[in-house]
Structure 1
């Protein structure tokens, strides 16, 4: 395919998958449960944090996270006591356990109390987005915390593709009126976003000839970003729907 033909092909796939039917089988359904901004962004952040492995299990465990917070994520984060955190001990999703969950609650409270909230931390327009993610991780773990919990937020500056955080940012920033991405953060441009790079999007990008690097790491993400910005510099991350749909759903 020529570049123009490939763009048309991917645009068609974006239209196919970027609609509300996508929500029912995706963890993005969790933040869609809420209407208050802070509830949406906290529910989204925690759901994205555990978004690896089987999608049904991710969704099931993300629902359980919300239940353990009384289905009021922001209130729980800001008003919790130590005995509330003890109720999280039984939670586990793969390597993310109750200790990590409690640490993330404390980290989120720190972000809202001392750094004006999640959106504000990512809205530093003087830095490229991947550096903002790295900075977010530093701020998040300013609190006293077990070292083990640090692995649950990836650091692009250290070479990670940071798939889950980039997916979360897509959820929060994109607002194209299709009803999938929530688009509640208007201080960040979609042009600054990066594609959530995982096994599905990576393999599909390689098959289509827009990614050559074999590892799914920060260098591969930069390469993929450049290709997708060539198709749409304003909203490059919309092609996540196409790459994911082709790879995970169509098995293209």
Structure 2
């Protein structure tokens, strides 16, 4: 396919998958349960954090976690007591366990109390067209309070050559607002043009077959290559093609 044919093909797939029915089988359904901005942010961040592995398991465990938070994640973060945290000890999703979960609640409280919330931390000091340095800065803020070293593995750092798939997915959820009804688009301080594609096995394999990616590893260097090629297709909203790449890989076995 030439450039125009590839763009037309992917644009058709975006229209197919960037649709409310996509929500039914995707973890994005969890933040969609809420209307308060802070509830959406926290539910989205925690859900994205455990979004690896079987999608049904991700959704089920995210629902369990929201139940443990009283289905009011912001209120829980800001007003929890030691007994509330004790109730999180038995939460587990793969290698994310109760210790990690309790720290995440404490770190989120610190961010909302002392850093004006998640949007403010992620949007602070944007210096260029990418948010990858901002993600690294976010990790520093997130772990500025006392924590177990093991918990750091659950927040990726692009400056350590990570593609940071789950955080980039979370940012897509929060920032994109194209009236399709899938992404939530509640953050106005970041432009969709600054987002990076959530690069995983599915999107990476499809991107390689389509000639959008040549690097074999799914790392930060691969993400830069993929982002550059997606920006050539749509400089204002390159990450909309995540729907096409993911849909082709997961639903069509492309």
Report TM bin, short chain: over 0.9
What secondary structure is seen at the aligned counterpart in 2 of 1:96? coil
Q: Which runs of 5+ in 2 are unaligned?
A: none
Q: Deviations over 1:182-213 (max 9, x none)?
A: 00001100000000000000000000011000
State the distance in 2 between where 1:129 and 1:192 align: 6
Partner residue of 1:134? 136
Q: Tell me by how many angstroms 1:14 deviates.
A: 0.1
Report deviation, 1:126.
2.4
Q: Distance in 1 between matches of 2:135 and 2:189?
A: 15
Counterpart check, 1:54 vs 2:54: yes
CA displacement, residues 19-62 of structure 1 (integer Å, 9 cap, x when unaligned) = 00000000000000000000000000000000000000000000
Query: Corresponding residue for 1:145?
Result: 147
Which residue is 1:188 aligned to?
190
Q: Within 5 A, what are the aligned runs for 1:114-129?
A: 114-124=114-124, 125-126=126-127, 128-129=130-131
Q: What corresponds to 2:83 in structure 1?
A: 83
Task: Name the CA distance, whole Å, in 2 between partners of 1:36 and 1:144.
Answer: 29
What is the Cα deviation at residue 74 of structure 1?
0.1
| Equivalent-residue separation in structure 1 for 2:109 and 2:34 (angstroms) | 19
**Counterparts of 1:93-132 in structure 2 under 5 Å?**
93-124=93-124, 125-126=126-127, 128-132=130-134
| Stretches of 4+ aligned residues off by more than 4 angstroms | none
Tell me how far apart the structure 2 counterparts of residues 81 and 139 of structure 1 sit (CA, whole Å). 23
Distance 1:143 1:68 in 2: 23
Quote the Cα distance in structure 1 between the aligned partners of 2:211 and 2:238. Answer: 17
**How far 1:123 sits from its partner (Å)?**
1.1
Q: How does 1:209-220 map to 2 (within 5 A)?
A: 209-220=211-222
Query: What does 1:235-246 align with in structure 2 at a 5 Å threshold?
Result: 235-246=237-248
Aligned length: 252
- TM normalised by structure 2 equals 0.98
The whole-number CA distance in structure 2 between the counterparts of 1:74 and 1:174 is 22
When normalised by structure 1's length, the TM-score is 0.99
Structure 1 residue 232: Cα displacement = 0.3
The alignment partner of 1:246 has SS state of helix
Equivalent residue of 1:8, what SS?
Answer: helix
